[in-house]
Every structure is written in structure tokens, then in C-alpha cells.
Structure 1
């Protein structure tokens, strides 16, 4: 049976995707400022939802997406093809390391597999989609350092502990954390995720923002509803 998630300006068929649409992905796409980003790369696009949301957000952007899972890549390509943004979206069924780069990117985004060193999921495709180790992130930082434009940005949504580790490692690659959005489930709780931005030029002070998903159990916060209102039918 098809599993289709309907947005205001596009639909996402996620039938053959091991990793379905999730809060991390839609928050990453909705909280990004991409006004000055013409060339964008979505790394590990899965269903293609992040690329589609970014295409809606900036009508001048051209977005390339890479997905290593053949079934997910085929589904993302179908979602791109069926959208009104089809002329500005392209899909590559490969790893980001295998991607042939035509010119530098203004923005790279990823909701990466962050279950580091965890292979407990019995579903092989979900295990592939969710498992990685630090080698992946080292390669990702190297790739960004090589293929970002001078003012380009790499933006990831990752767990807080991993964000701290990458902040230290990125400096060795010539990339610096300039912005963090700390995402908590409820007010007063510690963040469960961070949206972290890396750029070539360091800032004296990292810009830190707070974002809370729920106002109460089962009730979304006004910030969450405002962020997703351009996309979600429910808002």
C-alpha cells in the first residue's frame, strides 16, 4: 500500500523509503535561511522531502540530491518529477563521494544517519539508512571544505553530543561552527538535536538560538506551527 504524505504544494510518496519523513528533516528544511543560496545539495535525500521544501522556499534555487539506496532514490526521483519544482530538482543515485561536481555549492544540507556505531536494527535497509560512524562525518567535512563556495554553508541536524564533536573536528578541515539551533521537546528540557551551521570564516561568537517543539504533551508549540505552516496542511 502506498504511503503518501501530502504537503500544501507537493506530495511525498515514501512507500519504498527505509527512513520515512520525520521531525528532524522537516525542521531542518523549515528553519534554514536559503535566500542567498542558488546552488544547493541535499545529502542523503531519502524521500526527497528536504529538497522539495527548499525548492518551495526559494524559487531561484537549483537543488541536487544524492541518495545511496536505489529504492529510496527511485522514489525521491518520482517525487521530484511529480512536483511543480521538477525543473529545479535533480537526483543522483550514489554516495556524495561519488558525485561529479560541476561547480561549487552555496549550501549543503543533510539529515544524516547518526546512530553512530549502532547496528541493532534487524531491518537491513533501515540499518543502512541509520548507521554510520565518524568516518562518514570526516568524509562529509572534507567534501564540504572542497566543494562549498567561498561563502557556502554546510548545515546538519544531529544529536547534541555529535554536534560538539564535529565542532572540534571541523576546525581541522577549515570549517567553523557559526550557528546552532538547539531543539528541545519541551521548555526547560535539554536539547535533543542541534541544527549546526559550518562556514569557512569563523565568528567571534557562535549564534545560538532555542527552538521548542511542544507546548504540552501532544500540542505543538507556536514556533513549530509557524515554521511548518508554509508546508503542512494541518497548519
Structure 2
């Protein structure tokens, strides 16, 4: 039996890198605004899930996957090679802040990122998982600086964060002149509090009255996946 996670059009094996396939990643990959053609960067790609989802969703876009962890890049490269979109996917092993500073400003039409989010507390014993989950190697300030530099004037950077960390990032984004155009509040069920935020940032100021397009999504309803969750993710999950 194949290790990892099999989707409708591709397979992801994490090969022991920091972050395996997660619901967070699938939600982000399905929700993010992506151009049919252009350049997309997946910041902190891990095993390559978001890059593969972007390749499935777009016709001609080229996707660059960047990660500081060589083990993650080896996993992503293998997953890309076994996908239908190998020609449009490439991997880079480098700190994204250093790599981003070397790129022309405004190079990318879209950015996707499932970023580190723990600012404090006990770190995972596995160093690759700690890197993926804690902001020690990629602070949100550095991430926003990189997004601001890489994103073109009309593109969007899409991220997913826990609710508390997401609100902090939204406040910090204003100092970087990045504006939240779309916001989706995620709950596990409609009766639970918001647990995750899907956030879309752009350099373009918001039109009047200046409020982001706000959406709400519950993952489960009456013991099953909700209709909204199924509609968003059915192009990917095998059993939907």
C-alpha cells in the first residue's frame, strides 16, 4: 500500500518531513485565488501539497516551491516527479527570506503559504516539524516583508493560520501596506468557535467601504462533512 495521502489526481508522500498532509493545507489549496497562467510561489512547501494543488487548479501557471528543509524539498521533488505537472513545478532549498530578496520585485501573480504559527511554547522534538510549526525560522514580519516584495500589484497571497495568530498577522499586515481582500472564518462545526482563518492579502487597497469579503465555513455538519466543505474540496479528496 502506498504511503502518504492519495488525492484524485496526485499522491503526496511526506517521507518524514516536517508537516504531512493536513486539512488546513487542503482548505488553503482549494480556497486560494490563483491565476490560470502566470507565476505562483509556495512558501514553505513541505511535501509539496499546495504546489501540487495549484498545478491541478491552473492551466499554464508555473509553480516554484521553496523550503528551508532539504528533507522537505526531497519529498516535494519526488511528489512533483510523480505528478502529471512535473514540467510546471520546481523546488528550491533556501531560506525564503534570502531567496525572496534575490528575486525581482513583483515577480509572482499569487503566493500560497501554510506558515509557521507558534510564537512560543514547547517545540516538537522532531527538528523538521518544529521548523514547520514555529516562527523561529520565519517570523510573520519576515514573511510579510517577503510577500510584499514578491507579489505583483494585482495578485493575492493566501495563507491559513489559527484564529488568534491570524488576527495578529492581519494587524501586522497593515504596517506592510498589505490589505486583506478575502477572509474565511473556519469552524470545525457551526457551534464551535472559529479555529482557523483563511486570509488573502494584496498590495491593492480595498475598494470602499474598505472591508474584506468575509466568508464562513464549517467543516462538519451533523456528523458529516458539510456541504460547503465538500463543494470546496471535492476536486481533491477521493471520497467526496
Task: Establish whether TM, by shorter chain, passes 0.5.
Answer: yes
Structure 2 segments unaligned to the other structure (5+ residues):
none
* Contact 2:63/2:88, CA 8 A, preserved across alignment: yes
| Cα 1:37/1:28, change in 2 over 3 Å | farther
* Contact 1:14/1:20, CA 8 A, preserved across alignment: yes
Deviation of the 1:118 alpha carbon? 2.6
Aligned-partner Cα distance in 2 for 1:29–1:146: 22
Q: Which residue of 1 aligns with 2:78?
A: 78
Moved more, 77-86 or 6-15: 6-15
Aligned-partner Cα distance in 2 for 1:2–1:122: 26
Deviation of the 1:122 alpha carbon? 2.3
Q: Which residue of 1 aligns with 2:234?
A: 229
Aligned residues: 234
Confirm whether residue 113 of structure 1 aligns to residue 116 of structure 2. yes
Alpha-carbon displacement from aligned partner over 1:172-198 (angstroms, at most 9, x marks no partner): 111111210000000132210001111
- TM-score scaled to structure 2, two decimals? 0.91
1:101 to 97, 100, 103: 103
* Contact 1:25/1:50, CA 8 A, preserved across alignment: yes
| Cα 1:58/1:135, change in 2 over 3 Å | closer
Q: CA RMSD in A?
A: 1.8
Confirm whether residue 64 of structure 1 aligns to residue 57 of structure 2. no
Q: Which residue of 2 aligns with 1:54?
A: 54
* Contact 1:2/1:15, CA 8 A, preserved across alignment: no
Confirm whether residue 210 of structure 1 aligns to residue 216 of structure 2. yes
* Contact 2:115/2:160, CA 8 A, preserved across alignment: yes
Moved over 3 A (4+): none
Aligned-partner Cα distance in 2 for 1:156–1:89: 20
Equivalent positions of 1:147-158 (< 5 A) are 147-158=150-161
Aligned-partner Cα distance in 2 for 1:42–1:70: 15
Alpha-carbon displacement from aligned partner over 1:124-158 (angstroms, at most 9, x marks no partner): 22222211159611011111111211112111100
- TM-score scaled to structure 1, two decimals? 0.93
Q: Which residue of 2 aligns with 1:26?
A: 26
Q: Which residue of 2 aligns with 1:196?
A: 199
Structure 1 segments unaligned to the other structure (5+ residues):
none
Aligned-partner Cα distance in 1 for 2:138–2:75: 27
